[in-house]
Structures are given as structure tokens and as C-alpha cells.
Amino acid sequence: MSDESEIRIDARGSFCPGPMMELIRAIKGAKVGQVVVVLSKDSGSKKDIPMWAQKAGHEFLGAAERDDYAEISVRKSH
Amino acid sequence: MHKRLLIVGAGTGGLMVANFVARDLYLEIERGDIDVTLLGEQDTYTYQPGFLYVAFDLMRPAQLMRPVRELLAPGVQFIHDRALRIDAGGHQVTRAQGEPLAYDVLVLATGSGLNLEEVPGMGEGAHWFYTLDGALRLRDALRHWQGGRLVLTVGVPHKCPVAPLEFTMMFEEWTRRRGVRNKTEIVYSYPLGRAHSIESVADWAASELEARDVKIETFFNLESVDPEHRVAHALEGTDLSYDLLVAVPAHKGDDLGASSQLAEAGNWYPTDRQSLRLHSQEDIFVLGDATNLPISKAGSVAHFQAEVLADNLVGLLTEGSPPFNHYNGRAFCFIETGLERATFIAFDYDHPPTVPEPTNAVHWFKQTYNRIHWANLKAVM
């Protein structure tokens, strides 16, 4: 069963803790099935987030390119 | 017209906001036009960055603590009590030992604390320097250190983002001074795929740690600790055995947010990144660790936010003007790189930091700041 509401985090301009840490923080507080969407200008996020999602056993849903940032989505799987 | 400013939390952010506002509005307070009230659960202020130094026998606990009443600007009324619930609609805060406190403007500076329950076995198996008790326990362990494997882990989120690197580099030099470096293995682990969340710091740290023969374990999010077998387990599936485990525990916000139904997961208040207003509340502001902002949880952030917020509060209380001063994400962090040298990083929402070469001078600047932080709290400096 999935929770329809998504958690959106605007991490643009966040150098510390940064988009990836914000994703981990949000995933920890999310319900199973909930989607976390991180807005990030950090180029490393598009590589690091799917890598971490795979290691941690969560579902990487994709990275959508916007004007000068990306929207990166991960579903909490457990 | 009489206006009441209530600030909940007598830590760095709360004290600074109260004191900045009181110094600007001293005449109005004297006339009785404005009340500035600070509600704090603790009546002793503790300088938390000092815990790291206590662990290495470089500072004593008494040097870190002062009564809150000695840190107040004239005109600030301090109430020593615990806030129980914010009644946003009724514009009042209920508390444990007295009548509810009504407000016209409310500032939440309730900080953050350790979430030890999140990691099974952490309480029994790990040390930390994020509380005074923890720093003293770690100090005792270090006093008896004769060699072995020290593992450092980092929880998410945590306050003072550079402290894991500081501890690691200070410990490395400390073992050399004690003549046990050749018997000591140091493993620095981090939750991301690099040594720090800030890319420039990560690049610099990787080079520093490699030069000091410190092993780096990335993508390590501590999930549980086996104190009997001395193993730290990561949710990514990696295990690290240890002789001494130093954990930077994950943090959570104060329970007040949850009991008031104003905070989101983790007890963090949803806050506007520029005005510091609590979302959907015109008369409530948040600063310091208590916000949900994707910025460092650090004393310098509370300080810079307090300056901005105090300006806006003065305008709001005296003229009813909306926030005109915006917080730009500014942060400043010293980084001790051993026992005698330090560097620093300074950044904001638009400018990432670079890491200057560590110097003896910056180390002594930090040592000085450790001892004159009180002037900062009182809004004198």
C-alpha cells in the first residue's frame, strides 16, 4: 500500500548538509511507499542519489531536468 | 500599544534574538510598551562546541556553562519552565509550572537533541561528544586508550557538520603525541559517497585523511550496533568491527513541535528560508536547529539568523512592518585540523565554501572564541 502524498525538499542552494543528506533525512521520516522529491542544483546528486537508493534498497524513480536544477525522486521501500 | 514578544528556548538562537531585540528596544521596554520574554527549560546555558575539547582534556566542563540570567541584556524577562504546547490560534504557549504565556509574536528556538533510539545498541556500544555526559565518558575512554581500531560514524541529520572531521583529525594527532599512533587504526565513515556533504570539504578532507593514514568508508549509514561483538552495521550492508566506536548520533527536534502539531517528521518546523517565518503562521518565527531548512545546524547559523530576525522583529513590533531583512543562508564553521592548526569555511545559499590552508592563527582564533562566546550571546559582540 503506498502513501499518495509526496515529500518535497527544496535543496537548491543547500551546500551543507546538501541534497543527498536531505534525501536520507526525509526517507528516514517518511512512511513506506511515500515518495521523496529533492530539488537539487548539485551535479553530483544525479549520480549519488540513485547509487545510494540501490545500496539502501529504496526505489529510484528518476531525475527530471528543470531550468537550472533537477527533481530527483525516490520511493521508500521499507 | 502594548506588544508581547515571546521566545521559547534559551540556547544560542533564543538568547541572541532576545538580547538583540532588547538592546534595540530598551526604551520601549522601559516604558512598558513592549515585553521581551524568554522561556527556557534550562536555566544554565552550555556552550556545546566545547564538548569536543572536553573529550580530549583540552577544556573543563565548568568553562562551558553560565547561568542564563547572567547572559541577559537589560529588559529581557527570563522564565525557567518547560513549554508544553503552542496554541497558535489562541496566541499562547502553555507551560509546565505556570499560567499560559500570551504573545503577539512568537519565536521558536528549541534546538535539537540526540535521537539515540533510532539505532539499536548505540547506547550500550558507542561513545559520543554531543552531550556533556557523553564527552566525559569519551574522555575516560581516551585516557585509557593504548591502541586498537577506532571507528567514527555519522548520523543524519546532525548538528555541527564539520565536527566528525575535527574529531578524527584531532584524535589522529592526539595518538601521535601519546606515542600510540602506530598501534591505532582509524576508520572515518560517512553516509554519502564522499567524505563530506560539501564537495570542496570532501575533496580537501579525503586528501588530509589519506595523508594521515585514516581509512575512509563511504555510503555507511549506521543502522545498528552489536555491543557484545563490537560491530557497527550499516543499512547498506557493510559491517565495521571496532575497539572504540565514536558515533555522531542522528538528531531530532524538540517534542514541542509535535505536541503542538506544528512540526513535520523529525520534529522540525517548516520554515521560510528567507524570512524565517513558520509556514502558515504570520506571527511565529523559527531559527537555529529547530527549522527544517536544508542548511547546517550550527551555532553560527543561529547567530546570523538571530541578527536578521531581530531586525525584522523590531520593525514588526514597533511599526507592524513585514520582514524586510532576508536571511541569505550564511554559515561559518571553524575546522580544527589537529591540536594546533585550524581552518574555516564560510558560505551561504549562493556561494559554496572553499577551504583555506590550516594555520596556527585560526586555531588560536577558535580557542579565543571558545572563551568569549558569552559576549556574542549577550549581543555585545
C-alpha cell of B48?
556545546
Q: Where are the domains of chain A?
A: 6-75
Active site residue A34: no
- pLDDT tens sequence across B90-108: 999 999 999 999 999 999 9
Rounded to whole angstroms, the Cα distance separating B299 from B16 reads: 11
State the nearest Cα–Cα gap between B288 and chain A, in angstroms.
14
Judged by a CB distance cut-off of 8 A, whether residue A31 touches chain B is: no
Burial B163-201 (b: 16+ CB within 10 A, else e): bbbbbbbbbbbbbeeeeebeebebbbbbbbbbbbbbbeb
Grade residue A42 by pLDDT with cuts at 50, 70 and 90. confident
Rounded to whole angstroms, the Cα distance separating B101 from B79 reads: 10
Rounded to whole angstroms, the Cα distance separating B194 from A44 reads: 10
The mean pLDDT value for B342-347 works out to 97
How high is the pLDDT of residue A1?
Answer: 43
Structural domains for chain B: 3-111+254-330 (3.50.50.60), 115-250 (3.50.50.60)
Query: If you search the block for the grid coordinates 556533556, which residue do you land on?
Result: B132
- pLDDT tens sequence across A9-37: 999 988 888 899 999 999 988 999 999 99
Asked if residue B79 has pLDDT above 70, the reply is: yes
Give B198's contacts in chain A (Cβ within 8 Å).
15-16, 18
Judged by a CB distance cut-off of 8 A, whether residue A32 touches chain B is: no
Strands B331-336 and B342-347: antiparallel
How high is the pLDDT of residue A78?
Answer: 92
Give A54's contacts in chain B (Cβ within 8 Å).
none
Asked if residue A3 has pLDDT above 60, the reply is: no
Would the pTM of this model clear 0.90, i.e. be above it?
Answer: yes
Nearest to A52 among B193, B347, B350 (CB): B193
- pLDDT tens sequence across B147-197: 999 999 999 999 999 999 999 999 999 999 999 999 999 999 999 999 999
Give B266's contacts in chain A (Cβ within 8 Å).
25, 28-29
Asked if residue B381 has pLDDT above 90, the reply is: no
Judged by a CB distance cut-off of 8 A, whether residue A15 touches chain B is: yes
Amino acid at B125: G
| DSSP sequence for B255-304 | THHHHTT--BGGGBBPB-TTT-BBTT-TTEEE-GGGB--SS-B-HHHHHH
User: B190 pairs with which residues across the strands?
Assistant: none
Judged by a CB distance cut-off of 8 A, whether residue B50 touches chain A is: no
- Average pLDDT along chain B: 97
Asked if the Cβ–Cβ distance from B264 to A29 is below 8 Å, we say yes
- pLDDT tens sequence across A62-74: 999 999 999 999 9
Q: Single out the catalytic residue among A15, A16, A28, A68.
A: A16
Identify the burial level of A24 via C-beta atoms within 10 angstroms of its C-beta, where 0-12 means exposed, 13-18 middle and 19 or more buried.
Answer: buried
Asked if the Cβ–Cβ distance from B295 to A20 is below 8 Å, we say no
Rounded to whole angstroms, the Cα distance separating B340 from B332 reads: 20
User: B92 pairs with which residues across the strands?
Assistant: B87, B102
Q: How many CB pairs under 8 A join A and B?
A: 83
Rounded to whole angstroms, the Cα distance separating B37 from B107 reads: 10
Judged by a CB distance cut-off of 8 A, whether residue A55 touches chain B is: yes
Query: If you search the block for the grid coordinates 520511493, which residue do you land on?
Result: A75
Testing the interface with B: which of A5, A10, A16, A38 to mutate, by most B Cβ within 10 A? A16
Give B347's contacts in chain A (Cβ within 8 Å).
15-16
Residue A61: C-alpha distances to residues A3, A73, B61, B120, B241 (Å): 15, 5, 49, 30, 34
Nearest to B329 among A9, A13, A18 (CB): A13
Q: In what order do the strands lie in the sheet with B83-87?
A: B83-87, B92-95, B101-102
State the nearest Cα–Cα gap between A67 and chain B, in angstroms.
17
Judged by a CB distance cut-off of 8 A, whether residue B381 touches chain A is: no
Grade residue A6 by pLDDT with cuts at 50, 70 and 90. very high
May I ask the CATH class of domain A6-75? alpha beta
Give A56's contacts in chain B (Cβ within 8 Å).
221, 235-236
A4-8, B7-11, B32-36, B140-144: least confidently modelled range = A4-8
Grade residue A4 by pLDDT with cuts at 50, 70 and 90. low
A4-8, B122-126, B131-135: least confidently modelled range = A4-8
Alpha-carbon Rg of chain A, whole angstroms? 11
How high is the pLDDT of residue B3?
Answer: 97
Give B331's contacts in chain A (Cβ within 8 Å).
16
- pLDDT tens sequence across B239-279: 999 999 999 999 999 999 999 999 998 999 999 999 999 99
Grade residue A2 by pLDDT with cuts at 50, 70 and 90. very low
